[in-house]
Amino acid sequence: RDLPLRMAEFGSCHRNEPSGALHGIMRVRAFTQDDAHIFCTEDQINSESVAFCNLLQDIYRDFGFEEVRVKFSDRPEVRAGDDATWDKAEAALRDATDAAQLETTLNPGEGAFYGPKLEFVLRDAIGRDWQCGTLQVDFVLPDRLDAEYVTEDGSRARPVMLHRAILGSLERWIGILIEQYSGRMPPWLSPVQCVVAPITESANDYADKVADALKSAGLRVETDLRNEKISYKVREHSVAKVPYIIAVGGREAESNSVALRRLGSDKQETLALSEAVNTLGKEILPPDLARQVAE
């Protein structure tokens, strides 16, 4: 009655990769993964797998990845479980990919030792392929764990375990994002979304007021109170690819307004502070929240 049972964590993983295979943050020996395991009945494999595939595609799309290739990795030579178990697991996973309308390519012999898997592969900016998300169907480990559930008729049965990760290695995911956007992240992803830079020292207090107002709208904001020319500050933060740079001086303080410059634009907009807070507060929403607001 309680199945499917879903458990998830951001877990630390360690792999003894050969030193020659290590590659920046894309392939490391210690990484963090969005790890989840689903205990379900055999009848629930299809619906749980389809739900996972749909969720993964939605998330990848929100991050800007439209082209996701899917590999079907079948039984390796060294494996646990008998052929009948593997036949059942592979058939269940194939049925799920058909139901999810996924096009897959066969990746022979690359499944986990306990079950077949789907590998969701992204291509980076220079054409290299990287495995990110995974889904594995596992009939073996529940048996080794002696896991059981009570069926509708009161008898006991073995559950199936689905291993799944949407992003996979967070370090690798961050690396792919940096390359995908050449460091120029969408506003919702940028670590610093806005910098408020006073033109003169006398506008420092107003700059702090503007920053506080933007923070209250959910923006990640920094103030640049250094005694430097505003042109120097604007250039430095543009090179750092900060999406929004706001310049304020005596005139802006008197009129309770801001001078807004967007990354990549030479134009400067003058907006009332309340309008800037409202506009930028909407623009930095993650795609899923933006859709909810639009609805």
Question: Which tens digits make up the pLDDT trace of 177-194?
Answer: 999 898 899 999 999 999
Mean pLDDT of the chain: 94
Cα–Cα distance for residue pair 147/94, rounded to 1 Å = 25
Confidence bin at 115 (pLDDT 50/70/90):
very high
Cα–Cα distance for residue pair 79/86, rounded to 1 Å = 10
What pLDDT is stored for residue 125 in this prediction? Answer: 79
What pLDDT is stored for residue 153 in this prediction? Answer: 86
What pLDDT is stored for residue 24 in this prediction? Answer: 87
Q: pTM of whole model > 0.85?
A: yes
202-229 pLDDT tens trace: 999 999 999 999 999 999 999 999 999 9
- Show the domains of the chain with their CATH numbers: 5-181 (3.30.930.10), 194-294 (3.40.50.800)
What pLDDT is stored for residue 152 in this prediction? Answer: 86
Question: Residue 134: beta bridge partners?
Answer: 119, 165
What pLDDT is stored for residue 294 in this prediction? Answer: 84
Residues in contact with 125: Cβ distance below 8 Å, sequence separation at least 6, in sequence order: 179, 180, 182
What pLDDT is stored for residue 126 in this prediction? Answer: 81
* Torsion angles phi and psi, residue 155, rounded to 5: -80, 170
Instruction: Quickly count: other Cβ atoms within 10 Å of residue 267's Cβ.
Output: 7
The full 3-state SS of the chain, as one line of letters, equals CCCCEEEEEEEEEECCCCHHHCECCCECCEEEEEEEEEEECHHHHHHHHHHHHHHHHHHHHHCCCCCCEEEEECCCCCCCCCHHHHHHHHHHHHHHHHHCCCCEEEECCCCECCECEEEEEEECCCCCEEEEEEEEEECHHHHHCCCCEECCCCCEECCEEEEEEEEEEHHHHHHHHHHHHCCCCCCCCCCCCEEEEECCHHHHHHHHHHHHHHHHCCCCEEECCCCCCHHHHHHHHHHCCCCEEEEECHHHHHHCEEEEEECCCCCEEEEEHHHHHHHHHHHCCCHHHHHHHHC
What pLDDT is stored for residue 272 in this prediction? Answer: 97
Q: What would the mean pLDDT of 58-73 be, rounded to a whole number?
A: 94
* Torsion angles phi and psi, residue 250, rounded to 5: -60, -40
What pLDDT is stored for residue 218 in this prediction? Answer: 95
- R_g over Cα of the chain: 25
Contact call for residues 273 and 211 (beta carbons, < 8 A): no
Calculate what percentage of the chain has a pLDDT beyond 90. 83
20-36 pLDDT tens trace: 889 888 889 999 999 99
Q: Is the pLDDT of residue 261 over 90?
A: yes
What pLDDT is stored for residue 81 in this prediction? Answer: 84
Q: Which has the minimum average pLDDT: 55-59, 111-115, 122-126?
A: 122-126
130-144 pLDDT tens trace: 999 999 999 999 999
What pLDDT is stored for residue 1 in this prediction? Answer: 66
Q: Is the pLDDT of residue 91 over 80?
A: yes
Q: What would the mean pLDDT of 162-175 be, rounded to a whole number?
A: 96
Contact call for residues 263 and 241 (beta carbons, < 8 A): yes
Higher pLDDT, 212 or 81: 212
Residues in contact with 231: Cβ distance below 8 Å, sequence separation at least 6, in sequence order: none
Cα–Cα distance for residue pair 207/248, rounded to 1 Å = 7
